[in-house]
Structure formats: structure tokens, C-alpha cells
Amino acid sequence: MRVMLLGAPGSGKGTQAAVLKGLYGIPHISTGDILRAELARGTELGKKAGSYMNGGGLVPDDVILELIETRLGEPDARRGWLLDGFPRTLVQAHGLVELTDRIGQAVDAGLILHVDPEVVVQRLSGRRGCGKCQKVTNVAEAVSGACPNCGGPLVLREDDRPEVVRTRIQVFEQQTRPVFELFRGRYALYDIDASKTPEQVTEAIRKALGKHE
Ligand code: AP5
Ligand code: MG
């Protein structure tokens, strides 16, 4: 199965992808995660991307398209994939169409996770990542102040500061929302209410993807 997880910052793409990759046995490909790993390793790509990411802007399309082409060429991507956070501009959307046609990997479905901006701000101010096992959690779940999975230290993502979150929401509205309209006539797109609990959101996604299994 080849699926795109689309939606605003904080809509729950990463949370759902972590569950869906196990359910469907396909790799979770998050451009944000790949870029953060490059940033942590201090590579040239990471340094270049970091300057855009930390301010809430988007990394240039040519960088992202090259990264995706490389990743979709890896052996595990032959089984299918779950794209998280890509495409998020019209240029990237056209790039994905061109790439999938060229390599013969058609997109089966797109899931649009819908959530109000106020919920986004609230969720992202409470999001923490574990510095040890990388699990993403929320301050409400981590009552002891440590990772509920491994007890590791919790860290706030650099771009989850409220002023940066506001920029990310604006960028989403201006640059990413037009992608949904472009894709409506082309792919099977499903609108998912992502304001429900994570379990309810997973259930709604499973129901939508049932037609593509
Ligand atoms: P990226 O990492 O893709 O960030 P994003 O799209 O802004 O989305 P987030 O990861 O913030 O949110 P999410 O939807 O994954 O939510 P999560 O599940 O964590 O991109 C970061 C940056 O990298 C970009 O700004 C850009 O600079 C660059 N970049 C990446 N891709 C790019 C591209 N294609 N082109 C150009 N630049 C690119 O959940 C959030 C919180 O809510 C968590 O605490 C979670 O526990 C909680 N939560 C989740 N679901 C629920 C629920 N149902 N109910 C209650 N709480 C919930
Ligand atoms: Mg994410």
C-alpha cells in the first residue's frame, strides 16, 4: 500500500504513522524526521535544512525532491510506503506525480488529517520527544517529567516554540493546502477528523484504507 499522510503541523501525522506502519508492514517516510536526523548528525544537508526548519519555513523543493527520490529507491520502499509531511507545496506535488509515474509506484490513497489551529498550538506546546528512544509524547502523558516508554529525558522540538508554530500554520495554509485541491481529482483522498482521540483517528483511517488493502 502507498499512502500519503497530509495535514497541518500537529495534526497527528507522526502519531498515526507510528501505528499504521506496524498494521500495514510498510516503512514510515517522514521528511521532517529525515531532516532532523541529518541536523543531529551535523551533515551539510542538515545544516542547510536547519536554518529553514527552526524558523518555521519550508526547506527548498529541490532538496526535498532529491531526498524523496533517494528514499523511495531503497529496497524496503518496494513493499509500499507511508509518506508523512510530503508533499507540502505544489512543486513537490507535481514532483511526486512525475516520480511515481517514472518508477511505477502509484499512490493508492491520501489521508487529510483535519484539526483546528487552536488545537495545533495546544498540542505542539505540550509535545515532547524522548532524547533516548525518540518516542513522541505529550506532557500530559509524561506525568513524571520523563519518557513514559523508557524513562529518558524529554525535549521540546526547536520549532514547537509558539511563535514558530504560528509561522508553520501560516505556511501550511499558504503552501500546503493548495496541494489538497490539486490531488482531489487525481487520487482517492479521505478527510479524517483528527480532533478525536488517537485511537478513534486510527479507526477512521483503517476504515478508509480498508478499500485499498
Ligand atoms: P515535520 O516534522 O513534517 O512537522 P509538521 O508537518 O509541522 O508536523 P509535526 O511533526 O509537527 O506534527 P504531526 O502531524 O506529526 O503531529 P504529532 O503526531 O507529532 O516538519 C518539520 C519541518 O521540516 C518543517 O517545518 C519544514 O521546515 C521541514 N520539512 C519537513 N518536510 C518538508 C517538506 N516536504 N518540504 C519542505 N520542508 C519540509 O502530534 C503532535 C502532538 O499532538 C504530540 O504531542 C502528540 O502526542 C499529540 N497528539 C497526536 N494526535 C493526538 C490526538 N488525536 N489527540 C490528542 N493529542 C494528539
Ligand atoms: Mg511529525
Dihedral sign computed on CA atoms, order 30, 12, 135, 3 = negative
- Nearest-ligand number for the alpha carbon of 15: 1
Query: 194: which residues sit within 8 A by CB, 6+ positions away?
Result: 7, 11, 12, 113, 114, 115, 201
Q: Which of 2, 13, 123, 128 is catalytic?
A: 13
Average pLDDT of 148-160? Answer: 92
- Ligand 1 touching residue 198 (CB < 6 A): yes
Q: 2-115+176-212, superfamily in CATH?
A: P-loop containing nucleotide triphosphate hydrolases (3.40.50.300)
Summary mean pLDDT of the chain = 95
For residues 20 and 54, what is the distance between their CA atoms, to the nearest angstrom? 28
Confidence of residue 8 (pLDDT cuts 50, 70, 90): very high
Amino acid identity of residue 29, one-letter, is: I
184 counts as catalytic:
no
**pLDDT tens digits for range 99-153:** 999 999 999 999 999 999 999 999 999 999 999 998 898 888 888 889 999 999 9
pTM recorded for the entire structure? 0.95
- Among protein residues, the one with the nearest Cα to ligand 1's atom 20 is 32
